[in-house]
Every structure is written in structure tokens, then in C-alpha cells.
Chain A
Amino acid sequence: MSGPLAIALGGLTEVGFWSGVGVLAGIYTLLALGLQINVGFTGILNFGQAGFMAIGAYAMAILVIDFRVPFLLAVLGAIAVAVAFAMVIGMSSLRLRADYFSIATLAAAEAVRMFAQNAQGVTGGNQGLYGFDRAWADASRQIQDWLSAIGIGDANGLLPLLLVVWLVALVAIVALRFLQRSPWGRVLRAIREDEDAARSLGKNALRFRLQSLAIAATLGALSGVFLALNLSFVNPQAFEPQASFIGFAVLILGGLASYGGVAFGAIIMWTLLEATRFVDLPLSDTQIASLRFVLVGALLIGLMAFRPQGVFGKRQEMVLGD
């Protein structure tokens, strides 16, 4: 193939490309699973997942670097901080109308990012933090050795992270499906469709919503931890609201009310986004980066206009309209 629109297909066959896509897709699967339980199954419009992501990444990094907490414990600590933050937001904002709640969550996420940017002593400001992944690097090498022992080589060392991220994502999907089928999940769906009906039958809507938000915070924090491991450092730019909305694009792509669909959406989304690297046009790097976001925006618009239930969503379960 030749010509200005040729895509360098060679790039698409590199293992490095796919493992890169895979890691990002796994991270965003976790992020969007949190959105799924909020938006798809509880009916709360959480626009602040990037904030939980940031809390997860920063809390973990600060615990490891400043407090010398062992890595796994630091991850648990990060999740605890994210859940606590979710409780604060939830208690104060979940009683609000849906659109006000979405603005509140967006503001809260931006507040987290601004804190990360300005509290230089704690968060390193725009420079960010690094040096928290030594334990992971060791574990990663160990996993790589196991893989090599069974014959799987690796071009750029991303395979261990890829495996761990997807392991966690799959466990999350299974757990969420299990929760969804439980009586707890049933109440959640009832609240999503008609909160007053649920209340009139004795269900405390606020408590269920808080729990849903806490689960989203946990998943967001986990995705943040993995993003931090992927980048080997954390800085505020990695947690801009764009992340929340790419999460939404992933969510809608896979379909509301489908946990498995989220994984599908994430893979498609990141394949598309990373594939823009290979468009053989005379574009600068900034322009390609800009193109990616235009793509995300166009995708959001297109999906909302033509297929709001996404690929796997069921039309009759769709309670998107207010």
C-alpha cells in the first residue's frame, strides 16, 4: 500500500504494540467497570472516576515512597483513601439531582488533580512522583522468568503487567456479575429505575448508592495504581478529566448493563487510539495526539446519537433517559 492515507500495517503486528494496547485496555476496563456499576446499574452519573484514579495512584506512591509501606499494603491503603473520599462526596452530593451530582463529581475530581498539582511538598507538583515501583519491578522480573521458562518471550517487558492487570480485571468482572445477580444487585437496579418505588418498599436508596460509589472508587483506585505502574511515575497530567470521559466512551461502546462488554469496549477503544500512531500522514506528534481526542469526541457523539445502548447493551434495559 502507498499514498498519504496508508497505515503502516507493519506496526500493527508488533507484540509491543499489542501489549501496550492490552495494558491500557486493562486499566480502562477497571476504570469503566466502576462506571458501569454507577451509571449502568445504579443510575448515578459519576463524572469523577479520574479523581479516584488519581487518589489510587498518588496514595499508593506516597505510602511507598514517604512511609515505606510495603507495596501491597500501600495498594490497600490507597483503596481505603479512595473509598473514604467517595463517602465524603456521596454523603454530600448523592441527594442532588442527577445533573448537579455529575457536576459535583467532576468538580471533586478536578479538586484532586489541583491538589496534586499544587501541594508540591506532598505530591511533587507537576514534576510528579517516582520510585514507588521497585517491588513491582522485582515481581515483574519474577513473572517474566516464569514465562520464559514456559517459552513465552517478551519484547519490551510489558507482559507481566498485562497479565496482572487482566487477571484483576477478570476477577472484577466475575465479582461484579455475582454481585449483580444477588438481592443487593436487585435493589440497585430497582433504585436505578425508580427510586421512590424502592423506598416505598423499605429500601434505603442512599445507602445503596453510597456502596455503589464506593465500589466505583475501589475500581478507579486500582486502575490508577496500574496506570502508575505502567508509567513508572505519577503526575497530575495523567489524571485529567479526559480520562473519565474516555472511560465513558469505553462504557458506551461496550454497552450499558454489560460488565463483559466493558472489556470489549476498552480493547476496541485503545486499539483505535494507539493505531493512530501508525497513520502515515505528515502530522506532528501533537497533532496525532489531538487527533486521538477528536476521535474520542466524535465517537461519544456518534454513539449517543446512533447507538446509545452500545454494542452489547439491551434496548429494554436502557434507562438512559430521565
Chain B
Amino acid sequence: METASLTGRRVARPSVRGRLPRASRPALVTAGAVAAAGLALIATHGLHDVAQTALNGVSFGAVVALGAVGLTLVYGILKLVNFAHGDFLTFGAYMAFVANVSLGLPIVLATVLAMAATAVLGLAFERTMWGPMRERGAGMLQLMLMSIGAAFVIRYTIQFFAGTEVRTLGVDRTSVVEVLGLRIGQTALIAGATGIVVVAAIGLLLRLAALGKRMRAVSDNLSLAETTGVDTRRVIVATWLFAGAAAGLAGVLFAATANVKPELGFELLLPIFAAVVLGGVGHAFGALVAGLLLGVATEWSTLVIPSQWKLTIGFVILIVVLIVRPQGIFGQGRAT
């Protein structure tokens, strides 16, 4: 790890880990806190409400995790804080809308097309912006401001063509399924399950597959990986493919359970950042755990505070994590 300063105020780069989370102290503390909160809520609101909101939270959190895994990969492997990531979700949602509603394709096909389109978008930005800037040795502020510029361009180009009206995808939004005495929308259930499966798959891939190992090598030290023969270009392409596809899928799933609007991605960006930071930058499984935690916390909060405030829980968690343990539950090293 490089250190540009000595006080622990390092500019050390976060690295990507695909390992399953060890029983580390932060993980145990977090699990303890969640359990304590859950028990307190059960005591005051009864098991059914707590379980119901938890189920809703898992469904929402899985989508957040799906959005977060792409961001965390790009952040961890390419050292890029991609503020445009939220708008990748928006892009995916709109592509699915075009395919599904405008062109009448079945939703599954539309989703796959949306994922592919978003992956291509990510790669296009890499080819035209990130790659060249990386070669020029661009600094952090330059890259961050560029990603913000990209966010503006994506979101407002979509808005230019599609307008600000809120739309919906052609999915079944009314059927409800019963699970263990709890009710959940059929679409929400599918969305949640898909999110969990895909993020877990990415995590496993990072840990087990050869490509995953190469990605982790690049995330630790790009130039070193290059000299040891890792095809960094392939790793970079793979990163953007995963990130883009995951983001596109997250956008579609969120739109399926809610609606399609230009602010979709940006409204999710801060919960996604919260999940990335809470889980530890570069940690795929961390993003999964953190996303689910955030979803559950967000939904549990509606038992205690008016529901319009529920999204602020994401902020509270983000700020608390940054103060107490900025490297998150599973991140290594120090981040001050």
C-alpha cells in the first residue's frame, strides 16, 4: 500500500476482496447492534411488524446492494469514485422501459438488453474518458469532477429525450405473495432474490475464479500486476462489464418495484454510497451485507419515525460509519 503521508492520513488505496467475511470484530459488533435493535423493536412492535418490515427491507436492500457492488468494484479496482454510477441505474431503467413498454418485448429480455446497454455505456466512458485520463495521471479531484460531469450528462440527456414524467415498467405490480405469514409483492420478492443471488455470485467469482484473482491483483497494485503479466486491460474491461451490468439490473429491478424517472439513480446514489462505505470499499460481499443492512434499517425506521424520513437513515448510517470506522465492516487498513 502506498502512503503519501505519515500520520495515518494515508492515501493508501482500498483493495478488492472477494473473500467471505471473517468473524472480525466490526462484523460481530454490527451483528450485535442489529440483533439488539431487532429485539428492541420486537418488544415494542411485535414480531410480525418487525419481520414484515425486515422482509421489505431485504428486498429494497438487495437492490441497493446490486447498485453498490458495481460502484465498489470500480472504486476498489480502478480507484475511481464514480459519482455517475447512480445514473447508470437510471440508464438501465430507461433502456428496459424502451425495450419493454415502447417495443413490447418481454420483461426478462428487456432486462437483459438493459444490462447489456449499461455495460456498453460503462465501457464507452472507460474508452473515451477514464482510460485516457488514467494514462495522463489525472488526480483524484479531476476524476471526481469528471464523473460528476458524466452524471449530469447522462441524467439530463435522458431527461431531454424522455421528459420528467414518471413512468412504470410493464410488470405485475399488484400480485402479492405470502412467505411465512408475511406478505410481499411478487415483483419485490423477485427483485430481492435476484439482487442477492447476483451480488453473491459476483462475490464468489472474485474469490474463486481466475478472473477474480486477477481483478484483486490489479486492485492491490496496478503497475505491479502489469509487470507480473496480468492483462490489466482485460481486468478493466471485465470490471466495467460487471459494474455496468449490475447497475443496469439494479435500475431495472428498482424501477420494477417503484417507477421510472430521471432522478431514480441519483436518489439511490447516497444509499448506495452508504452501502459501499459500510461494507468496505472494494468488498463485494461487504456490499451485499451492507446493502441488506441498510435496507432493513431503512424499513425498520418506519416503525419508529414518520415514513417520509426513512431515506435519511441511509445518511445517518453513512455519517456514523465515516466517523467511527471509515473503512467499513470488512475494509482493511485505515482511511484517515
Contact = CB atoms under 8 A, between A and B. Distances in A.
Interface in A91-115: 92-93, 95-100, 102-104, 106-108, 110-111, 114-115
Given A93-B322, A286-B163, A103 B273 contact: yes
A92 B323 contact: yes
A304 to B, nearest CB: 5
A301 B84 CA distance: 12
A322 B152 contact: no
Interface in B1-57: 4-7, 9-11
Interface string B130-158: 00110001111111111011111101110
Interface stretch (B102-110, B182-190, B309-317): B309-317
A199 B8 CA distance: 13
A114 B150 CA distance: 24
Given A39-B141, A95-B9, A308-B142, A290 B81 contact: no
B129 interface: yes
Given A96-B326, A107-B315, A298-B153, A320 B335 contact: no
Given A96-B322, A294-B157, A248 B315 contact: no
B319 A321 contact: no
A248 B142 CA distance: 11
A245 interface: yes
B308 to A, nearest CB: 5
B319 A118 contact: no
Interface in B219-268: 266
A45 B144 CA distance: 10
Nearest to B267: A110
Interface in A244-298: 245, 248, 252, 284, 286-287, 290-294, 296-298
B149 A304 contact: yes
B47 to A, nearest CB: 29
A297 B149 contact: yes
Interface residues of B, number: 52
A99 B149 contact: no
A299 B145 CA distance: 10
Given A114-B311, A287-B160, A290-B159, A298 B149 contact: yes
Contact of B312 (A98, A118, A242, A290): A118
A110 B152 CA distance: 17
B164 interface: yes
B319 A107 contact: yes
Nearest to A93: B322
B312 A111 contact: yes
Given A97-B336, A103-B273, A321-B137, A294 B160 contact: yes
B146 A290 contact: no
B5 A301 contact: no
A99 B75 CA distance: 11
A202 to B, nearest CB: 14
B336 A299 contact: no
Contacts of B153: 294, 297-298, 301
Given A104-B319, A106-B270, A300 B326 contact: no
17 contacts: A96-B326, A100-B277, A103-B277, A107-B318, A114-B311, A196-B5, A245-B152, A248-B148, A287-B163, A294-B157, A297-B148, A297-B150, A304-B149, A305-B132, A320-B141, A321-B138, A322-B4
Given A97-B9, A321-B137, 14 more contacts: A114-B309, A195-B5, A242-B152, A245-B152, A248-B145, A286-B159, A293-B155, A294-B156, A297-B148, A304-B133, A308-B142, A320-B141, A321-B138, A321-B139
Interface of A: 39, 45, 92-93, 95-100, 102-104, 106-108, 110-111, 114-115, 118, 195-196, 199, 241-242, 245, 248, 252, 284, 286-287, 290-294, 296-301, 304-305, 308, 320-322
